[in-house]
Structure 1
Amino acid sequence: MRRILLLDDEQNVLSALKRSFRSIAHQDLLRIDTYNAPEEALTHLQDTAYDFIVSDYHMPSMNGIEFLTLAKAIQPDAVRMMLSASAEFKTILGAINEAEAFRYIAKPWTQEELTDTYQAALQKRDQILEDRRLADELRVQRGQLSPQEEAMRRLEESEPGITKVKWGADGSVMLD
C-alpha cells in the first residue's frame, strides 16, 4: 500500500488535493493522511512511513521548505514535493536545494500535471527502495551487514519504530 502525507493550512485545498490523488490512483492501494499543522504532521512522520510527502509553501507557523527539510531528516527516502501558488524562483530554488523536493506542484494544479507528477514520484520511490535493497544486499555479501540487520532495516522502513522497545523503570514494556 502506498502512503501519502498532505500538508496545507487550508482545509479546502487539502480536500481537493486528496480527491485528485484518489482519482489518479484508483487502481493502487493508497492511504492519504491530511494535516493542517506542520507540527502534527512531523509527529506522525516519527511513527508512520510515507512514500510521498506533499507540503504547501505558505503556512502560518512554518514554511514548506522548513517542513520538508525536517521531514527529510526523519524519512530521507520519502519523495518530497512542494505545493504553492507562488511562482517565485527563490521559493522553487529553496524547495529543491534545501529540502531536496522532487517536484514543485503549482496551485491551481491540473489533473494531467498531478497525474504525471504522481507517476514520476512512484517511479522515483520504487527506484530509491530498489537501490537501498541492492546496497543492503551487497553489504550482507561483504559482511558489513548481517542478515538480521538487513531484516530489521526492512521492518523499520515499512513500520518505523517497530524494532524499538520502550522499557519502564521496572523492566516492563511500555506501550503507547
Structure 2
Amino acid sequence: MHRILLLDDEQNVLYALQRSLRQVARDMELKIELFTSPEAAVQRLSEAAFDFVVADYHMPTLNGVDFLKMTKELQPDAVRLMLSASADFNTIMGAINEAEVFRYIAKPWDPEELKETIAEAGKRREQMLEDRRLADELRVQRGEMSPQEQEAKRLEESDPGITKVKWGPDGSVLLD
C-alpha cells in the first residue's frame, strides 16, 4: 500500500484532488491523507512514512517550498510535488532547487495529467528505492555496512522512528 499526503489550506481543493485521484488510488493501492494545516502535516510526517507529498504553494502560515524542504528533511525518499495557481518562474525554480520537487502541478489541473504525474512519481520512487537497495548491498559486500545496519536502515525507511527508543526520566520506555 502506498501513501500520499495532500496539503492545501483550502478544503474544497483537497476534496477535488481526492476525487481526481480516486481511480489512480485504486490502481496503485494508494491511501490518501488530507491536511489543511502545514503544522499538522509536518506532525503526521514525523509519525508515518509517505511515498508522495503534494503541497500547495500559497498557504497562510508556511509556503509550500518551505513545507516541502521540511518534508525532504523528515522523509528524503518521499516524492515531492508542488501545486499552485502561480506560474511565477522564481516560485517554480525555488521549488525545484530548494525542495527538489519532482513535478509542478498547475491549478486548475487536468485530471488525466494528474493521474499520469502520480503514476510517474510512483515509478520514480520505485527506481530510487531500488537504487538505494543495490547501493546498500554493495556496501555490505565491500564490508562498509553490516547486514544488521542494512536491515535497521530498511526498517527505518519503511517505518520512521522504529529504530529509536524514547526513554522516560526514570529509565522506562515511553510508548506513543
> Residues 30-52 of structure 1: CA distance to partner in whole angstroms, max 9, x if unpaired?
11111111111111111211100
Deviations 1:8-57 (A, max 9, x none): 00000011111211222322221111111111111111121110010000
Question: Secondary structure at 1:135's aligned position in 2?
Answer: helix
The whole-number CA distance in structure 2 between the counterparts of 1:117 and 1:28 is 13
Contact 2:25–2:31, Cα closer than 8 Å, also in 1? no
The match for 1:84 is 84
- CA-based RMSD: 1.0
Question: Any conservation in 1 of the 2:167–2:173 contact (CA below 8 Å)?
Answer: yes
Within the alignment, does 1:115 sit opposite 2:118 as a pair?
Answer: no
* One-letter amino acid of the counterpart of residue 31, structure 2: R
Q: How many residues align?
A: 176
Counterpart position of 2:28:
28
SS in 1 for 2:54: strand
TM-score, scaled to structure 1: 0.97
Q: Following the alignment from structure 2 to structure 1, what is the Cα–Cα distance between the partners of residues 15 and 137?
A: 41
Q: Is the 8 A contact 2:7 2:41 kept in 1?
A: yes
Runs of 5+ unmatched residues, structure 1: none
Partners of 2:75 and 2:101 in 1: CA distance: 13
Amino acid at match of 1:138: L
| Alpha-carbon shift at residue 112 of structure 1 (Å) | 1.4
Match of 1:74 in 2: 74
Residue 8 of structure 1: aligned partner: 8
Alignment of 1:1-176 (within 5 A): 1-176=1-176
User: Identity of counterpart residues, as a percentage?
Assistant: 65
Letter in 1 for 2:130: E
Shift in Å at residue 171 of structure 1?
2.2
Structure 1 segments (4+ residues) deviating >2 Å: none
How many Å apart are 1:174 and its aligned residue?
0.6
CA distance in 1, matches of 2:5, 2:103: 15
Gap runs ≥5 in structure 2? none
